[in-house]
Chain A
Amino acid sequence: AQKITQTQPGMFVQEKEAVTLDCTYDTSDQSYGLFWYKQPSSGEMIFLIYQGSYDEQNATEGRYSLNFQKARKSANLVISASQLGDSAMYFCAMREGLQGAQKLVFGQGTRLTINP
């Protein structure tokens, strides 16, 4: 069963608009972490933001914020004031596993294109 689901294969947004990338997850663990990574066309994986399952406030990092709705098991990434350089693949991931044997499980990714 898919543990991380990103339902938007591709999104097109006008520059300077805000964009929300969807991510839902499935876990029975009480303690878990959710991550978003950006992969530009150059191929590297860039960490954007993290949300812990016990964090009461939504995470924010500059123009990135994470809309964490625990009861709905969703962790959507919000990018405010999008820029051309935001065009990339975006991956949602969940940390799972026991101490010392943790791994990231990734969603299928969303390709975001920012139009000028």
Chain B
Amino acid sequence: DTAVSQTPKYLVTQMGNDKSIKCEQNLGHDTMYWYKQDSKKFLKIMFSYNNKELIINETVPNRFSPKSPDKAHLNLHINSLELGDSAVYFCASSQGTSGRALVYNEQFFGPGTRLTVL
């Protein structure tokens, strides 16, 4: 009964390849996010989807393309991988559209995907 799950947990690939990371939440939340944690542990938001609609896109290279087939899933596809893409990618979800949930906006994080580009 994992709340937010990501696959794969580890991803090692060569420069120039295309890869995808999948995220699923079973919390019934309507908002999902992708965050990137760099080698210095700094966490920064990349994207946010609300009800399958892209809400936040934080100056991320267009090699990164999120896709939300439904409210429970938010996948991240990365084209032409570069060395600098090596990081831990976290998916998160929240129920943040009204009332206390809107104000609170606690985000539940997945376990992370460690991407290593060689």
Point out residues on A near B: beta carbons under 8 Å: 31, 33, 35, 37, 39, 43-45, 47, 50, 52, 89, 91, 93, 95, 97, 99-106, 108-109
Given contacts A31-B103, A100-B97, contact A45 B109 (CB under 8 A): yes
Given contacts A44-B111, A50-B104, A100-B50, contact A91 B97 (CB under 8 A): no
Q: Please, which residues of chain A bring their CB within 8 A of the CB of B40?
A: 108
Is B48's CB under 8 angstroms from A103's CB?
yes
Question: What is the CA–CA distance of A50 and B106 in the complex, to the nearest angstrom?
Answer: 8
Q: Please, which residues of chain A bring their CB within 8 A of the CB of B63?
A: none
Is B109's CB under 8 angstroms from A44's CB?
yes
- A102 touches which one: B44, B96, B108 (CB < 8 A)? B96
Chain B interface size band reads 20 to 34
Does any Cβ of A come within 8 Å of B56's Cβ? yes
Q: Is the interface of B mostly helix, strand, loop or mixed?
A: strand
Is A103's CB under 8 angstroms from B90's CB?
no
Q: Please, which residues of chain A bring their CB within 8 A of the CB of B117?
A: none
Please name the 5 residue pairs, one residue from A and one from B, whose CB atoms are nearest each other, closest first. Answer: A45-B109, A106-B43, A103-B45, A101-B55, A95-B105
Question: What is the CA–CA distance of A71 and B16 in the complex, to the nearest angstrom?
Answer: 50
Interchain Cβ contacts within 8 Å, total number: 67
Given contacts A100-B97, A103-B33, A108-B41, contact A33 B88 (CB under 8 A): no
Q: Please, which residues of chain A bring their CB within 8 A of the CB of B111?
A: 43-44
Q: Please, which residues of chain B bring their CB within 8 A of the CB of A108?
A: 40-42
Does any Cβ of A come within 8 Å of B7's Cβ? no
Given contacts A43-B112, A45-B90, A100-B96, contact A106 B104 (CB under 8 A): no
Question: What is the CA–CA distance of A31 and B14 in the complex, to the nearest angstrom?
Answer: 45
Is B41's CB under 8 angstroms from A89's CB?
yes
The minimal Cβ–Cβ distance linking B86 to chain A, given in whole angstroms, is 15
Question: What is the CA–CA distance of A26 and B11 in the complex, to the nearest angstrom?
Answer: 36
The minimal Cβ–Cβ distance linking B109 to chain A, given in whole angstroms, is 4
Given contacts A106-B42, A106-B44, A108-B42, contact A101 B107 (CB under 8 A): no
